[in-house]
């Protein structure tokens, strides 16, 4: 993908990065991420996105924050290339809110694949007029809230928010200052747009379905993109895009120096945050409390609700002996 052009990304970030704001960065009634272009002039960047020149075969991935953007982008990139090969450029280089300059987009090979967290009302007009493809990834808001809390905590965006409960009240559920319009409005607006989508341009992928049936969902995306691949090729792409292998690729393949100066993109921890506490058998901000259910291996970091049983157990409270001999998310479904 014209890798040499991405030297401009690193240079731009160094020249335009500003200190993080002391409070939330608000534009158009919503809290937006503190990416350099938004820190400089959020209104200008959103207008640039709205008036962006698009090609008919461009693809845009849209997600509410912490809904699997990286995951979807890697899968779709491989599908469009028609081979299970990682791109050297990080996904962030194609992030509409964070990319340095729309002019260099025109030098990218067709089709272009971009990603964004913007609400549908700020979508590129030309992309919609072209009936170009939009991949909308939808995730359970409870999981989003937990993932977002830990991500914000890691990059120092919580301010005076002391715990998860306050985060929910002040940042996630606060109607006056919700991130990117808030999950409910963001998703309702996309649901409405999809109902009015007479061209069939929008496809919705459920994060949970992609996790449960990765090969099946990858095949569905290939069909949507009109990409013909064999069952073996689909399976290989699905395997290459497993969380474990994507994490390894992020460390060994990606040139993260291109986005190393943006605090929000620094990957000091795995890019996937699970609901369970990272320390087995414990929960709480300092892992100080044992999981209430004796056979629970991972419990919710705030509530202690079991999210994964120890091998050999299943059920809401891991009270049943499992014939599978191993734990999984399904073992504690409904917990």
Position 297 scores a pLDDT of 75
- Cβ atoms of 332 and 326 closer than 8 Å: no
Question: Tokens in use for 323?
Answer: 């014939």
Task: Compute the mean pLDDT over every residue in the chain, rounded to the nearest whole number.
Answer: 79
Cα radius of gyration rounded to whole Å, the chain: 20
Q: What pLDDT digit, counting tens, does each position of 27-69 carry?
A: 998 888 888 889 889 999 999 999 998 999 999 999 999 999 9
- pLDDT-based confidence at residue 120 (cuts at 50, 70, 90): very high
Position 85 scores a pLDDT of 92
Q: Where are the alpha helices (DSSP H) in the chain?
A: 7-16, 36-50, 69-81, 125-129, 141-155, 164-167, 183-195, 207-212, 214-224, 231-240, 243-252
Share of the chain above pLDDT 70, in %: 73
Q: What pLDDT digit, counting tens, does each position of 79-94 carry?
A: 999 999 988 888 888 8
Write b or e for each residue in 24-38: b if 16 or more Cβ atoms lie within 10 A of its Cβ, otherwise e: bbeeeebbbbbbbbb
- pLDDT-based confidence at residue 256 (cuts at 50, 70, 90): low
pLDDT tops 70 at residue 95: yes
Q: What pLDDT digit, counting tens, does each position of 209-240 carry?
A: 999 999 999 999 999 999 999 999 999 999 99
Q: Which CATH architecture has domain 3-140+179-265?
A: 3-Layer(aba) Sandwich (3.40)
> How many other C-beta atoms can be found within 10 angstroms of the C-beta atom of residue 41?
12
Coil vs helix vs strand at 152 = helix
Among residues 279, 284, 329, 272, which one has the least CA distance to residue 306?
329
Coil vs helix vs strand at 26 = strand
pLDDT tops 80 at residue 76: yes
More confident position, 314 or 201: 201
Position 275 scores a pLDDT of 43
Residues 166-181: what's their mean pLDDT?
Answer: 81
pLDDT tops 70 at residue 73: yes
Question: Tokens in use for 14?
Answer: 């160094």
Residues 138-156: what's their mean pLDDT?
Answer: 86
Position 311 scores a pLDDT of 79
pLDDT tops 70 at residue 303: no
> Domain coordinates of the chain in residue numbers?
3-140+179-265, 282-332
């Amino acid at each position: 993908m014209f890798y040499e052009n991405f030297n401009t990304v690193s240079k731009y970030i160094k020249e335009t990065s500003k200190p993080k704001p002391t409070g939330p960065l608000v534009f158009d009634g919503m809290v937006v991420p503190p990416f350099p272009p938004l820190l400089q002039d959020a209104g200008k960047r959103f207008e640039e996105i709205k008036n962006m020149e698009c090609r008919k075969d461009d693809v845009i991935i849209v997600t509410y924050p912490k809904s699997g953007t990286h995951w979807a982008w890697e899968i779709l990139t491989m599908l469009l290339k028609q081979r299970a090969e990682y791109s050297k450029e990080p996904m962030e280089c194609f992030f509409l809110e964070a990319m340095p300059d729309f002019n260099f987009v025109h030098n990218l090979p067709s089709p272009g694949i971009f990603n964004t967290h913007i609400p549908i009302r700020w979508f590129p007009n030309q992309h919609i007029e072209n009936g170009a493809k939009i991949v909308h990834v939808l995730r359970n808001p409870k999981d989003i809230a937990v993932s977002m809390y830990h991500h914000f905590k890691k990059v120092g965006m919580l301010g005076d928010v002391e715990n998860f409960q306050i985060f929910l009240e002040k940042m996630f559920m606060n109607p006056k200052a919700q991130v990117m319009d808030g999950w409910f409005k963001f998703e309702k607006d996309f649901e409405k747009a999809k109902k009015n989508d007479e061209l069939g341009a929008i496809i919705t992928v459920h994060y949970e379905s992609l996790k449960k049936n990765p090969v099946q969902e990858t095949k569905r995306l290939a069909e949507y993109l009109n990409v013909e691949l064999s069952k073996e090729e689909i399976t290989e792409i699905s395997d290459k895009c497993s969380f474990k292998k994507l994490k390894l690729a992020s460390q060994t393949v990606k040139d993260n120096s291109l986005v190393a100066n943006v605090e929000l993109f620094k990957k000091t921890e795995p890019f996937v945050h699970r609901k369970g506490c990272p320390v087995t058998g414990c929960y709480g901000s300092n892992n100080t409390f044992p999981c209430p259910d004796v056979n629970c291996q991972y419990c919710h970091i705030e509530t202690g609700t079991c999210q994964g049983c120890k091998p050999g157990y299943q059920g809401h409270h891991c009270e049943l002996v499992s014939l599978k001999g191993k734990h999984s998310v399904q073992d504690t479904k409904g917990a």
